Amino acid sequence: MSGRPVIRFSATSHVGRVRKVNEDAILATPETRVWAVADGMGGHAAGDVASRIVIDQLAMLPEGQEPADLMRAVRDALHRAHDQIRQEAAARQVDTMGATVVTLVLADGHFVAFWAGDSRLYRFRDGEVEMLTTDHSAVAEMVLDGEMTWDEAELHPLSNMVTRAVGVGEELELDKVRGELHPGDRFLLCSDGLSKYATFATLRRLVPRAPIETVTDTLLNLALDGGANDNVSIIVVDVL
Q: Quick one: how far is CA 85 from the chain centroid?
A: 18
Give residue 152's pLDDT: 87
With a cut of 60, say whether residue 103 has pLDDT above it: yes
238, containing H or E segment: strand 232-239
Assign domain 7-133+165-236 to its CATH superfamily.
Answer: PPM-type phosphatase domain (3.60.40.10)
The mean pLDDT value for 71-75 works out to 98
Decide which of 55 and 127 is more confident.
55
Query: What type of residue is 134?
Result: T
Helices (H), the chain: 47-59, 67-92, 140-144, 150-153, 192-195, 200-206, 215-226
At 239, which helix (H) or strand (E)?
strand 232-239
Where are the domains positioned within the chain? Answer: 7-133+165-236
Is residue 2 pLDDT above 60, yes or no? no
Residue of 159 and 141 predicted with greater confidence = 141
Q: Judge contact between 74 and 105, C-beta under 8 A.
A: yes
* pLDDT at residue number 138: 84
Distance in angstroms (rounded) separating the CA atoms of residues 80 and 53: 9
* pLDDT per residue as tens digits for the range 40-58: 996 666 999 999 999 999 9
pLDDT tens figures, 150-182: 888 888 887 778 999 999 999 999 999 999 999
Q: What is the pLDDT of residue 72?
A: 97
**How many other β-carbons are positioned within 10 Å of the β-carbon of residue 163?**
17
